Chains A and B, each alone.
Chain A
Amino acid sequence: MAKRIDVSGLTAYYGSHKAIEDISMTVEPRSVTAFIGPSGCGKSTFLRTLNRMHEVTSGGRVEGKVLLDDEDLYGPGIDPVSVRREVGMVFQRPNPFPTMSIFDNVAAGLRLNGNYKKSELQDIVEKSLKGANLWNEVKDRLNKPGSGLSGGQQQRLCIARAIAVEPNVLLMDEPCSALDPISTLAIEDLIGELKERFTIVIVTHNMQQAARVSDRTAFFNLAAVGQPGKLIEIDDTERIFSNPSVQATEDYISGRFG
């Protein structure tokens, strides 16, 4: 199911403000690609262009191409709703639907996208919760509201909800930034397992995390505040953290700025 993402010449705007400029990269299937960079460098904006969530914000606008295998997400006649079904997303703060039960949260995407029998739904929900390493903790209270879980559990619930619809790509926007270290570790382990099945892109502020979970790392930077963010380089994570080809990357990684 996992698909390759090919981005070429992508520029994104907020109204007249150019947030990121001319980004091209390839994201390999069944791998974890991490985006790092200082605040405001546009890495989250770029992530949101990959499932057409950027245009949801007021004035959001995109130029360029994002190919999912061979199909351009911004091509004519493309339905953004279908795009978001194929490219799932996990957000910075866990956001389960507060009025739905744990079961309904996981089933929410499935119910939108087709008619499933009750037994089918139960199978998929169980499988997704197991996939998110949450099944054992919640199997006895599937009908309780999702908002009653701890922060880390809620985030794994959101991951279960995202993978339940079997997307081709899973985008994660700083998924651990609101979590404590133990929950963070649990999510990182989970990412390691999920990459067997999905193409994963993760934005993170935490460079150790990028080093731990990702196969490839992209470094974003901006010339000055108010300037558009740019992709400085993308390479194997090992190389980025040991011997990056651009000086700015090394400065950032060694903590000289940002």
Chain B
Amino acid sequence: MDISTQKTQASPPIPQPTDAEQKRAARGATRPGDRVFLALSRGSGIFLLVIMAAIAVFLTYRASLAISKDEANFLTAFEWNTGTIPPKFGIAVLVYGTIVSSIIAMVIAVPIAVAIALFITHYAPRKLGGPIAYVIDLLAAVPSIVYGLWGALILVPQMDGLFGWLDRYLGWTGIFSWDGGPARSMLTVGILLAIMILPIITNVSREVFRQVPQMQEEAALALGATRWEVIRMSVLPFGRSGVISASMLGLGRALGETMAVATVLSPDFDIHASLLNAGGGTFAQNIASKFGEASEFGRDALIASGLVLFVITLLVNGAARAIIARRKEYSGANA
């Protein structure tokens, strides 16, 4: 009721054209200058739509050229032989590798990112919050190839100890068995991806936590809640959907990351139970690694796998946006 109207008044002003303006814009402005400018700006917007359509159309077209000649099942085959006659290739390994590496990254990154966001908004001394947020932004600005180089030359050798330990105590599960080879495996890739997507998840979560209404937190405080109980009662319930969409954005990044995976992973075209042994592959990594020697047909096949990656990331990002949009309505009505 009156609460919600107050809320809308308090929100920042969003330009709302008057009726007259709207009509003028709708039928095209009358002056030549206005007409040219409107055409330019609307044209730019339409240009963006055309690009999106073109991406979908051209990728699909080139992909269909490759898939129509594929003698193996494109979805289930465990091989990538585009140079042989007949060509046989499939994305099963890539689907598996992409999902596994991204899941590892999410499992590691989401809790840490949420904790860091809480650290910045609720735990760090107030003067430290800003600089720390800035440092996290810097993490986001580091190019992925530098992460890749660091991952391959610094992180991989560091993993041996952890891998040995995992193999000794959890090796019996199969997932954590290790043959002692270089740690250029899915787990290392997942850890590196976690480091890379940490900033975006942190930043979005931080914004959400910062928007928790003061009065929600005070409600918990006044009942005699400790800081952690305030977070559990007020901050986390309020921020939940925001954290989910932040995680989905991070997931989108992890799914499509190319260079960091290509430098760290030692790929093969098989699915392995162990996360510690080298092998496997992801969509983006496979494209980058196979591209150099690929013929035109081989490139079309890679485009076909890229199309699948495109669709997956679209779905993930779309879900993230949908959650954000729903949250806006929710907080507008209730906060």
Q: Do A and B bind each other?
A: yes
Chain A residues in the interface with B (C-beta under 8 A): 51, 53, 56, 58, 81-86, 88-89, 91-93, 95-100, 108-109, 112-113, 147, 150-151, 158, 161-162, 165, 178, 180
Does B2 interact with chain A (Cβ within 8 Å)?
A: yes
Cβ contact within 8 Å between A147 and B224: no
Residue of A nearest to B236 (CB): A99
- In the complex, what residue of chain A is closest to B6 when comparing beta carbons? A178
A-contact 0/1 string along B1-32, CB 8 Å cutoff? 11100000000000000000000000000000
Contacts A165-B223, A178-B3 given: A112-B334 contact, CB under 8 Å? no
Is the beta-carbon distance between B3 and A151 smaller than 8 angstroms? yes
Picked from B220, B222, B237, the residue with its CB within 8 Å of the CB of A88 is B222
CB-based contact A98/B238 at 8 Å: yes
User: Contacts A112-B229, A161-B223, A162-B222 given: A99-B215 contact, CB under 8 Å?
Assistant: no
Partner of A108, one of B2, B223, B335: B223
With A98-B335, A178-B3 known as contacts, the answer to whether A91 contacts B223 (CB < 8 A) is no
Asked if A165 and B237 make an inter-chain contact with CB atoms under 8 angstroms apart, the answer reads no
From A53, A100, A151, contact of B1 by CB (8 A) = A151
13 A-B pairs in the complex with CB atoms less than 8 angstroms apart: A53-B221, A58-B126, A81-B224, A91-B218, A91-B222, A92-B215, A95-B213, A95-B218, A99-B238, A109-B224, A161-B223, A162-B223, A180-B2
Chain B contacts of A151 at CB under 8 A?
Answer: 1-3
Chain B residues closer than 8 Å to A162, beta-carbon distance: 222-223
A-chain residues with CB within 8 Å of residue B238 when the two chains form the complex: 98-99
How many residue-residue contacts, CB under 8 A, span A and B?
76
A95 to B230 Cα, complex, angstroms: 14
In the bound complex, residues from chain A placing their C-beta under 8 Å from that of B221 are: 53, 56, 84
Cα distance, A210 to B9, chains bound together (Å): 30
Which of A58, A95, A109, A151 has the largest number of chain B CB atoms within 10 A? A95
Interface contact A96-B223, CB-CB below 8 Å = no
Nearest chain B CB to A24's CB is how many angstroms away? Answer: 24
Q: Which 3 A-B pairs give the minimum distances between C-beta atoms?
A: A85-B224, A89-B222, A109-B223
Residues 318-335 of B at the A interface (beta carbon under 8 Å): 334-335
Q: Closest CB of chain B to A56's CB: distance in Å?
A: 6
B84 at the interface (CB under 8 A from A): no
| CB-CB nearest in chain B for A57 | B214
Q: Which of B224, B233, B234 contacts A113 (CB 8 A)?
A: B224
Q: Is the CB of A81 within 8 A of B226?
A: yes
Residues of A within 8 A of B220 (CB): 97, 108
Q: In angstroms, how far is the closest chain B Cβ from the Cβ of A1? A: 15
How many B residues touch the partner, as a band? 20 to 34
Minimum C-beta distance from B104 to chain A (A): 30
Q: Nearest-CB distance from B223 to chain A (Å)?
A: 4
| Chain A residue at smallest Cβ distance from B222 | A89
Complex Cα gap A178–B215 (Å): 14
Contact A53 B218 (CB under 8 A): yes
Contacts of A84 in B (CB 8 A): 221-225
Within 8 A of A (CB), among B138-158: none
The yes or no answer to B54 lying at the interface (CB within 8 A) is no
- Knowing A81-B226, A147-B334, A165-B223, the reply to whether A98 touches B237 (Cβ < 8 A) is yes
Q: Which residues of A contact B219 (CB under 8 A)?
A: 91, 95-97, 158, 161
Judge whether B44 is part of the interface by a CB distance below 8 angstroms.
Answer: no
Contact present for B234 and A97 (CB under 8 Å): yes
Hey, what's the 0/1 contact readout for B94-132 against A, CB within 8 Å counting as 1? 000000000000000000000000000000001000000
Which chain B residues border A165 with CB–CB below 8 Å? 223-224
Is the Cβ of A81 less than 8 Å from the Cβ of B225?
yes
Measured CB to CB, the closest approach of chain A to B215, in angstroms, equals 4
Known: A97-B237, A99-B237, A112-B229. A51 touches B222 (CB 8 A): yes
Give the CA-CA distance A161 to B222 in the complex, in Å: 10
CB distance from B235 to the nearest CB of A (A): 11
